[in-house]
Structure 1
């Protein structure tokens, strides 16, 4: 297996670090509460009250919030361009690949992508799909046989455009 030579690679946060820290802290508190419910019922033999949840549900919710905490704390938009394709991903999910041959046009996005898409992350608008991160600049890409244009925020729009159109 050979290593890919990336013409362009960028990783950008979806949320500000302080917001990520606040969300992780909130999720840790919720995780702790459900862990306490589970431990008190299973190991200390405390009875389940009439308005309480059973210990197996507490364990399931604890596990789900713990996994969500890990996912949110590592959430990043990854943009990669190699010799053949553009690859976009949002953390471990949402990976999409576009062949460079199918790109009809690419240009600098006019406006504020985060405001136009009403937030950060993977966004869908009427005529556009966006990978919107913390970068203030963006690139719009028109792809053959796709109804929506692709909008990608980036700190280096000129480098991304150059990687997408190497022959120009």
Structure 2
């Protein structure tokens, strides 16, 4: 994701955290009564903690791409880990277009003929993988380096 969008999301989540922290503190420590349209203090605390965890995760979110001797490993942060054997990759080519616009967003995306790991990188490569109906699109800051790593690992 572009850095500006991540900053905007983190700021919004911090504002939400602040509101629920205020509700919790005002009810528990300042002794203000729970109004008709307010939530109980324990729920405010739960929402605050969940929002804090979500804020931390979003601020650290990135797509990880690893190439070793046998596999290409893709993951979205700590979730969504997938491995592809290097010998199953039939072709590697540059992606034409804007991946974020074509896939309507960032993250793990599924389109009609393609699956994408769409991140902050503005450039991407497309992999045709044996026994997969969809091509795999991977965004990267340096597509030539990723293509070279895939070619070197599959040959060695």
Give the TM-score normalised by structure 1: 0.85
Q: Greater RCO between the two (CA within 8 Å, min separation 6)? A: 1
RMSD: 1.6
The answer for the alignment partner of 2:75 in structure 1 is: 89
SS at match of 1:51: coil
| Structure 1 residue 43 displacement after superposition | 2.0
- What are the residue-to-residue correspondences of 1:104-123 with 2, within 5 Å? 104-123=90-109
1:31-74 Cα deviation digits (max 9, x unpaired): 01101111211222221111101111111110111011101111
Match of 1:163 among 134, 149, 152: 149
**Could you list the per-position Cα deviations for residues 100-128 of structure 1 after superposition, in whole angstroms to 9, with x for gaps in the alignment?**
12212211112221221122222111111
2:22 to 13, 29, 36: 36
Q: What residue is the counterpart of 1:57 in the other structure? A: 43
Tell me which residue corresponds to 1:132: 118
Aligned pair count reads 154
Return the match for 1:150 from 119, 136, 141. Answer: 136
Unmatched tracts of structure 2, length 5 or more: none
Deviates more, 1:56-65 or 1:133-142: 133-142
The CA deviation string for residues 9-42 of structure 1, in whole angstroms up to 9 with x for no partner, is xxxxx222x3222221111111011011112112
Distance in 2 (CA, whole Å) between partners of 1:162 and 1:130 is: 20
Higher share of residues assigned helix? 2
TM norm structure 2: 0.91
Which of 43-52 and 155-164 deviates more? Answer: 155-164
Q: Displacement, 1:136?
A: 2.1
Shift of 1:82: 0.8
